[in-house]
Chains A and B, each alone.
Chain A
Amino acid sequence: MLKQYPTARYILHRGGWYFLTFLVAVTINFFLPRLGASNPVDIIMGKAGSGLDTEAAREKEESYLKEFGLVQVDATGTILRGPDGKPLKSSNVSQFFNYVKMCFQGDFGTSFQKYPKKVTTIIAEAVPWTLALQLPTIMFGWIVGNVLGALAAYRRGVFDRVFFPLALLLSAVPFFAFGMLLVYVCAIKNGWLPAMGGYAGDLVPGFNFDFFKSAGYHYILPFFSIFLILAGGQAIGMRSMGIYELGTDYIKYAKWLGIKENKILLYLFRNAMLPQLTGLALSLGGMIGGALITEMIFSYPGLGMAILSAIQGQDYPMIQGCTLLVTISVLIANFTVDILIGFLDPRVKAGQMGGN
């Protein structure tokens, strides 16, 4: 089938495997939290039940168990009980099918911790912040890093000798520790920039100049905490790829042919760029997970903070919703890379055509 369209076959083939990965990930994603010993209702009860006596606490607990679908109920919504009077727990399998059904309806369930808020609502509120912080930072860091790396590869000499160790050192700093350092110097010690938050304390998000000005002001430190380290890492990769490509036969041949330097550089970058593109796609896919600690250091109101509090509160539906989001974005990023390389890299392309 599709023998005459190797590219389409390649895409379908890879896509199929990615879809399978997705299904397995969703299943694992659901069952892993339930292997743990703790039950989220106990955590809620730890707080809700603190002023109550034993009987009142028991009643309250049952109402939560019912709310989160952890016990079996009959058609009228009454909790089914075993012979000992204790509520019957609903099985993991029935919970799973319920979960899958809800996911298809775009409903990730209700957050345990931020009850009665929907997981989708929490994510929708937080994602714009994370995207606004991560997307431009990653893109910008990637571009600057690659340009500098390519320059270092092409020019070598003093520039390279100073630049390369510096970039290497930058990429070795744990990015959160770098963030702490920035806050320490720029906010705590000298008070040049705000230490935390996404916007000033006396504002409410909205479309107006004051809000955007304030958000921009609060953007500077988190931006640099990611940007510099990311750019350093990208520059190192680009530099080695560039130097490698400079020595390949086709470049030598092109030089020998007397092709203009600009044109040679263009070839060079096209080929050196491939692995770098992979890196870009992967960091874009992984940005939600990566946002976690940056947002924690800067108390930034994004998805990372939401995941963090979900972790601390053992909020399964929220953790599940977020990991699902991470899963989807990482898979899409990987798939895009695979396809991209399939199209751009003649070597891989040849491989697809020739089969094994």
Chain B
Amino acid sequence: MMGMNKFGIPLAMMGLLFITGCNKENKPAGQEETKAGGFARSKTLYLGGSQWGDPNSFNPLTDWPAWPVNDKFNIMFETLLAYNTLTGKFEPLLGTLESQSADSVVVVLNPAAKWSDGQPVTSADVKFVYELGKRFKGAATAYAIDFVSDIKVSATADKAERLTFMVNKKGRNNPLVVLDFLQAIRILPAHIFEPKLAQLKDLAEVQKLKCDSNPVVSGPYNLETYSNEKIILKRRDDYWGNAALHGGKLAGPQFIIHPIYKSNDAFAIALAQNDLDATQTYIPRIWMKKNAGVMTWYDKEPYFVPGAVPTLLINSTRYPLSDKAFRRAMAFAIDYKSIKDLAVSGYSPDIKPGAIMPFGIEAGFYNDEDAQKYGAAFNVESAKKILADAGYKSVFKADGTLDKMIDGKGKPVPTLFVKSPAGWSDWEAIVTLAVKGMRAAGIDVREGFVDAGLYWQSQPVGDFDLEMIKPAASVTPSQPWSRLAALMSSRTWAPPGEKMNENQGRFNNPKGKGYIKAVDSLLSVIPTLTDKAALTQAYRQLNILFMQEQPALPLCYLPEQFYQVNTKTWTNWASEANPYAPPNLPWAGAATKMLWELKPAK
């Protein structure tokens, strides 16, 4: 391996090396003889969009493992529960949800669950992952100890292990996030990693292992081989869940290949040419690919199930954005319909005011009357009126374009910039259209597309006027709480220049004049509420506060963990007409069960 490093470059530079150098050292041991073309198209499922860079490590203890060890994908390592983003319910995986309360969440481990080396999955494995933070602060799952104070183990009547996750009352006291964990934190084989920790002494050393050679997993597929261009998984025919969860069936595809393309347009081409069965990338104008066999969840607009809310975050510490009236005027000035139609190919239902989604799982917490009463919808005249009432004057040029703004004291209002990463094509289009609308209403805003590095840097320190973000983007059991917290929580409020990981617009300074205590108390009480009516009431109040204060401007809804598929090789995908699984790629959450339902096309 080292020899390759030292001699690879000079050799290659002399032009003596043709292809021989590539990927040698990536290849897991024992895979050298992989037969080319051994992955028959009819037995292989091509899925894309989760891995963009070179696969470097399949070590689940690192922050950046490659697909499918990253994120909450459960086809190699599995979570205790699978979350169904369509129904909002938990489905059994390594465990089954037994009960939940404000104090604890109880899960029963499936006694059939086994690692690929034959060892059973036990409470020791669960405790290993959840409590790693007690031993190593740098562990990827270290944050779990702030939320889970203890995991109590008892036996059920039929001798299965019952795990009681105690909510850390002294810590964050947030059972909602504990539920998030159960469907996100993957259980790892303690009997493999403990000896390595003991031998190498430090977690950082163990994190350097690649774990790419025949890893011990509990899921239905395991790593076959990989290169910089693809990751290949092979079905485990002895997967414990075949009998325990899927009625003795084997998953359909024998191989899953995740090709690694570098840009969105490459996915579009591959999907249309049937080199890819499904992808979760943004592909504009999907209806044009219908003839090529491409389908989506809905047959018509919006085509996908929404999951995230691209939002303009407002820096409330800067003038004139500190003025609530100014922020409200902005919300009235944006033409949300044009954003939906032109920037995101219509992949969004019509937006409604507030930060809670008016459909799907969150619909129960949404109140249309409140939205009518307090919310801002596109209306240029209302925007102009609010500005005029607050004393702002917009000066237009002869050709009708905006020249400048003057405030009530006769002073000029500074031009505001919307920070957004240059080159993120759909965001650029969204920002362009939002700016167009606001300028037409007389608000002096400009696009500020910046280098991605500058963008990431400005966000935590609040160095922006307005900034494009997707607050708490994934569909989890804690929504819409996590989105509202990401937009409004003052729990860790710090002045601009210091870092914050939520509410980076610095809305609602706890030490400021007009501090609205209700926002933070609602945010801390919602996770502990179990009574449905009380919960709905609390969300209503919080959403009203959001609409009144307008700390950010939600612009449209977009799918998250969505997929579009080509049905030429594999059929029977879940869809609106056949919603047996949620609308995610078959490696995420409860959508994994689709793998057992896919059928080869004729």
Report which A residues bind B (CB closer than 8 A). 36-40, 42-43, 45-46, 48-50, 52-60, 63, 106, 113-118, 120-129, 131-132, 135, 187-188, 191, 195-212, 214-215, 296, 299, 301, 305, 308-309, 312-314, 325, 329
Contact = CB atoms under 8 A, between A and B. Distances in A.
A4 B491 CA distance: 81
B417 interface: no
Nearest to A64: B63
Contacts of A209: 36
Contacts of A114: 53-54, 56
Contacts of A308: 262
B257 A132 contact: no
A204 to B, nearest CB: 5
A40 B142 CA distance: 23
B15 A121 contact: no
Interface string B427-468: 000000000000000000000000111111101100000000
Interface string B360-379: 00000000000000000000
B56 A201 contact: no
Contacts of B37: 200, 202-203, 210
Among A114, A205, A312, A314, the one with the most B-chain Cβ atoms within 10 Å of its Cβ is A205
B112 interface: no
Contacts of B460: 42, 45, 49, 57
Q: Is the interface of A mostly helix, strand, loop or mixed?
A: helix
Given A53-B492, A195-B269, A205-B22, A116 B57 contact: yes
27 contacts: A38-B453, A38-B456, A38-B457, A46-B455, A46-B456, A53-B491, A56-B142, A59-B137, A114-B53, A118-B5, A120-B5, A123-B8, A124-B21, A125-B21, A125-B22, A125-B23, A127-B8, A135-B15, A202-B37, A202-B38, A203-B37, A204-B225, A204-B227, A206-B32, A207-B20, A296-B262, A308-B262
Contacts of B26: 125
Interface in B30-59: 32, 34-41, 44, 46, 53-54, 56-57
A185 B336 CA distance: 37
B53 A48 contact: no
Contacts of B208: 116
A199 B19 CA distance: 11
B492 A210 contact: no
Among B19, B35, B143, B227, the one with the most A-chain Cβ atoms within 10 Å of its Cβ is B19
B192 interface: no
Given A124-B21, A128-B19, A314-B451, A201 B54 contact: no
B456 A57 contact: no
The 9 closest A-B pairs by CB, nearest first: A124-B8, A46-B456, A38-B453, A210-B36, A54-B492, A42-B457, A127-B12, A314-B453, A202-B39
B230 interface: yes
A116 B502 contact: no
Contacts of B453: 36, 38-40, 42-43, 314
B454 A38 contact: yes
Contact of B6 (A46, A63, A106): A106
A300 B299 CA distance: 34
A117 B262 contact: no
Contacts of A188: 269
A206 to B, nearest CB: 6
Contacts of A196: 261, 266, 269-270
A48 B262 CA distance: 20
A340 to B, nearest CB: 18
A56 B143 CA distance: 7
Contacts of B19: 128-129, 132, 205, 212, 215
B548 interface: no
B138 interface: yes
B81 interface: no
Contacts of A210: 36-37
A125 B208 CA distance: 20
Contact of B452 (A57, A115, A118, A312): A312
Given A59-B138, A211-B36, A299 B262 contact: yes
A54 B499 contact: yes
